[in-house]
Amino acid sequence: MEFTREDFNAILNEGSTESVEETSTEVGVKELCMDNVVSKDKLRSVQGKTLNKLAEYIQATYGPLGSNTMIVSGNNKQTILSNYSKDGLKVLKHIIFSEPLEMAIQSEIENIARFVERKVGDGTTSSIILSSEIFDGLSEIEKEFKIPPRKLIKLFDRCVKDLQEEIRSRGREITLDDIYKICMISTNGNESISKVIENLYMQFGFDVQIDVGISNDSDSKVKIYDGATIDEGYLDDCYINRMSNATCEIRNARIYYFADPIDTAEMLTFLDKILLDNIFSPLEEGREPVPTVILSTHITRDGSALMRKLSEALHSYDGANQIEMKPPVLIVSDISGVGVGVADDIAYLCDCKPIVKYIDPKTQKADQEKGEAPTIENIAEWCGYAEQVIADADKTKFINPKSMQNADDKKYESRINFLKAQIKKAEANNDDHLTIGRLKKRLRLIEGNMIEYLIGGIAESDRDAVKDLVEDAVKNCASASSTGVGYAANFEGLRASMMAWKQHHDRDKENSDDIIIYRIKSIIAKAYYNAAQILYSTAVDNFDDAEVLIYNSITNDQPYNIATVFDYGTENIDDIPFDGNVLCSISTDIEILEAIDKIVTIMVTANQALVQVPTLNRY
C-alpha cells in the first residue's frame, strides 16, 4: 500500500488533539466530604493527569539516548542508598504519589508494565507514553459520542487485535547476526555484552536459556549447568532466605505438583498434610524439616489453615541471621500462566506425580488402589526431586531436576522426541510463529543447558544498571527466537497503525461505529507518531527534523538507527543511511499493545471510585 506525504500530513491533522475539558476537579480540600465516592468526571481527570505525569517522569529513560534516573532510598546519612537506572519499569516502581487514587493507578500500571517486561524485556516506557495519549483520545470520544465505556473498549480492542495480527505477519526467522543487533539495541550499543550473548547463542543454538544474575565480585562470568526456568516466582516475600539477592533457595527439594487448582476440601487437605509431615511435625519434634517446593496452578484465596500459619511463622524470622535459618519451603502458585504445557514439562523434568481432582469417587479409588493417585496417607511421598530450586519474585529455576540427572532416562528422551515431532508438524502446516514459538520454548526448557550470565562491577549501582540492560537483551533475544524478528523503536506499531488508519481513511464510513473505529485508529496512529517524535528528537535539533525521519522510515519500510542519525547530524537528512540494525522481537509491539489495551480498559471501564474513608476523598 502506497503511503504518501499527503497521507502523513492528513493523519497529523485528523480530529482534535486537545484534552477533555475538565470540571472543577483540582486536588485539594475545598469542603468537608460526607462520603468516600469519587464521581466519574473527577475520576477521569485524575486518571488522565496521573497517566500524563507517569509518562512525563519515565520519558527521561526513553530510547538509546535516554538518561539515567537517580533512585534514592533512606532518610538520613546512615541509610541513604542510591541507584542509577534508565530501566522504565524500575523507575516506575519507585514513583510514589501522595493521594490514594493516584497511588492505585500507579500500582495498576506497574503490574501491567511488568507483564511486558517479563515477555520481551523492554517496552515499559513506550506502553505508558502511548497509553497516556490514547486514554486522552478515548476520553474525548466517550464524551463527544456519549458512547458506553464497554462498547468503546470493545471497538478499541478490535482495533488492537487487528494491529497485532498485522505486526505478527511481518515476523521472520532469527539469524545469529540478528542476535548481535538485537543486543546492541537493547544494551544501548554495549558491544562487549552483545558479543558475549551472541557467542552463547553460537555455542548452544537459538533454544539456549540464559538467566541473568549478579556476580559476587567485580568480574562478570558465565556458568553452565542442566536445568530449567519458569517465569513465575514466589508470591510472598516470607519465603526469602537469602537477603543478599532476595531469593528463596531450596536444596535437594521434594517437589509437589498440583496440576488442578487447590480450591476443594480434598486438595486443601492434601496441601495441609504435606506441610504437616514435611515442616511442622519435624519442627515440633526437633528434627530437620524436609526441603519442600509446592507448585500449583492456583490456590484459593481462603487457602489452608496451615499455609496461613506457615506464612506467619516465616515472617517471624526478621533478623538477617534468622532469615537464613528459615525452614526450607517454597510455594509457587499461578504457574498455569507460564505458558501452555510448560508447567507439565517442569513436573515431567522433576519426575513429579501430578496431584489432580477426581469427579468420580469410584475412579479415584480404583486409581489409588493401582498406585496412580495419592491418598492422605501417602501424599507426602507423591513428589519429584531437583538438586536445587531458586526463586525470586519473577522466576523460579530448577537445577539438575531428577530426569536430567539420568542421561539414559527413556521417559525424558521420549518427551524430547514428542516435542520435536510437534514442532516439525506445526512447521509443515505453516502454523503461526506464536504456536511454533511456544513449542520451541518447551523444547528449550526440556533439553537445553541453563546458562547463568553473572554481572560484575565495582559498585552495586554499576552492576544493577548493567544487569537491567542484559536482562532486556536476553529476554528480547529469547522472544525473537520463539516468535520471530521485527524492527525496533516501536516501528512495527507505528507502521501498522499508520497503514490501518490510511486503509480506513480511503473508504466510506458506513455507520457511527465505523466512524468511531476510524477515530480510534487515528488516535493510536498519532500516539505512535508522537512517541516516535520524542524518540528521534533526542538525536536531532528539533521536532521538524524528527517528523522527516518518521516519514522517511515509514516510506522506506524500516526505521533509522538513532545512533546513526546522531553521528550523521541532520544538515541533510536524506543522506542518512538505513543500516538495518534496529531489530527486536516481533512480539515487542504486540505485547506493548496488549499492555495498552489492559491499561486503557481498566481506566475507561471505571465509572467511579471509592476511596477508603471519606476523609481521603479530596477530589
Q: Which of 367, 245, 248, 219 is nearest to 317 (CA)?
A: 248
| Contact predicate 2/596, CB 8 Å | no
Can you name the CATH fold of 225-405? GroEL (3.50.7)
Decide: helix, strand or coil at residue 390: strand
Instruction: Show the cell assigned to 45.
Output: 481527570
| Contact predicate 517/504, CB 8 Å | yes
What letter would DSSP give residue 38? Answer: E
What is the distance of C-alpha 576 from the center of its chain?
A: 35
CA dist list (Å): 320 to 242, 316, 323, 324 = 9, 12, 5, 7
Per residue in 188-203, pLDDT (tens digit) is 889 999 999 999 999 8
Of the chain, the percentage scoring pLDDT greater than 90 comes to 50
User: Beta strands of 540-593 (E only): which ranges?
Assistant: 583-585
Q: What is the distance between the alpha carbons of residues 489 and 565, in angstroms, rounded to a whole number?
A: 14
Mean per-residue pLDDT, 469-481: 91
Per residue in 416-468, pLDDT (tens digit) is 888 889 888 988 888 876 777 778 777 777 765 678 898 887 777 678 778 88
pLDDT over 50 at 22, yes or no: no
| Contact predicate 131/600, CB 8 Å | yes
What are the backbone angles phi and psi of residue 230, rounded to the nearest 5°?
-115, 150
Q: What is the distance between the alpha carbons of residues 382 and 128, in angstroms, rounded to a whole number?
A: 45
Decide: helix, strand or coil at residue 306: helix
Per residue in 244-294, pLDDT (tens digit) is 778 999 999 999 999 999 999 999 999 999 999 999 999 999 999 999 999
| Pairing status of strand 609-610 against strand 37-38 | antiparallel
**What pLDDT is attached to residue 416?**
80
CA dist list (Å): 252 to 275, 281, 400, 436, 597 = 17, 19, 10, 34, 43
Instruction: Show the cell assigned to 492.
Output: 512495527
pLDDT over 90 at 378, yes or no: yes
What are the backbone angles phi and psi of residue 452, rounded to the nearest 5°?
-110, 120
Instruction: Show the cell assigned to 601.
Output: 480498559
**What pLDDT is attached to residue 26?**
47
Give every CB contact of residue 520 below 8 A, 6+ residues apart in sequence. Answer: 137, 138, 141, 155, 156, 159
Q: What is the distance between the alpha carbons of residues 281 and 292, in angstroms, rounded to a whole number?
A: 13
Decide: helix, strand or coil at residue 442: helix
Which carries the bigger pLDDT value, residue 335 or residue 545?
545
Q: Which of 212, 119, 278 is nearest to 464 (CA)?
A: 212
Give every CB contact of residue 540 below 8 A, 6+ residues apart in sequence. Answer: 546, 549, 565, 570
User: Beta strands of 41-91 (E only): which ranges?
Assistant: 69-73, 81-85
Q: What is the distance between the alpha carbons of residues 446 and 341, in angstroms, rounded to a whole number?
A: 11
Phi-psi category of residue 15: left, alpha or beta, with phi > 0 → left and psi -120 to 50 → alpha: left
pLDDT band (50, 70, 90) for residue 604: very high
Q: What is the distance between the alpha carbons of residues 576 and 29, in angstroms, rounded to a whole number?
A: 55
**What pLDDT is attached to residue 21?**
47
Q: What is the distance between the alpha carbons of residues 366 and 362, in angstroms, rounded to a whole number?
A: 6
Q: Is 225-405 the same fold as 5-170+489-616?
A: no
Q: What is the distance between the alpha carbons of residues 466 and 84, in angstroms, rounded to a whole number?
A: 10
Instruction: Show the cell assigned to 193.
Output: 555484552
Instruction: Show the cell assigned to 53.
Output: 505525569
Mean per-residue pLDDT, 352-379: 94
**What pLDDT is attached to residue 495?**
96
Per residue in 478-520, pLDDT (tens digit) is 899 888 999 998 999 999 999 999 998 877 777 889 999 999 9
pLDDT over 70 at 329, yes or no: yes
Per residue in 206-255, pLDDT (tens digit) is 878 788 888 878 888 888 877 788 878 998 889 999 887 789 999 999 99
pLDDT band (50, 70, 90) for residue 320: low
pLDDT band (50, 70, 90) for residue 76: low
| Contact predicate 36/613, CB 8 Å | yes
CATH class of 5-170+489-616: mainly alpha
Per residue in 521-552, pLDDT (tens digit) is 999 999 999 999 999 988 887 888 999 999 99
**What pLDDT is attached to residue 338?**
60
Per residue in 556-576, pLDDT (tens digit) is 999 999 989 988 888 888 889
pLDDT over 90 at 356, yes or no: yes
Give every CB contact of residue 200 below 8 A, 6+ residues apart in sequence. Answer: 208, 210, 222, 451, 453
The domain locations on the chain are: 5-170+489-616, 225-405
Give every CB contact of residue 213 below 8 A, 6+ residues apart in sequence. Answer: 245, 452, 453, 454, 455, 467
Per residue in 94-114, pLDDT (tens digit) is 899 999 999 999 999 998 888
What is the distance of C-alpha 366 from the center of its chain?
A: 43
Which carries the bigger pLDDT value, residue 362 or residue 324?
362
Which helix (H) or strand (E) segment holds residue 330: the answer is strand 329-332
pLDDT over 90 at 327, yes or no: yes
Give every CB contact of residue 522 below 8 A, 6+ residues apart in sequence. Answer: 11, 14, 15, 501
pLDDT over 50 at 167, yes or no: yes
Per residue in 63-72, pLDDT (tens digit) is 777 777 888 8
| Pairing status of strand 449-455 against strand 396-401 | unpaired
Instruction: Show the cell assigned to 335.
Output: 504457574
| Contact predicate 568/561, CB 8 Å | no
Least confident of 45-54, 151-160, 409-418: 409-418
Q: What is the distance between the alpha carbons of residues 584 and 476, in angstroms, rounded to a whole number?
A: 6
Amino acid in position 320: A
Least confident of 301-310, 333-342, 466-475: 333-342
**What pLDDT is attached to residue 340?**
61
pTM higher than 0.85 for the full model?
Answer: no
Per residue in 380-407, pLDDT (tens digit) is 999 999 999 999 888 898 988 887 766 5
pLDDT band (50, 70, 90) for residue 204: confident
Dihedral Cα 312, 317, 318, 322, nearest 10 deg: -170
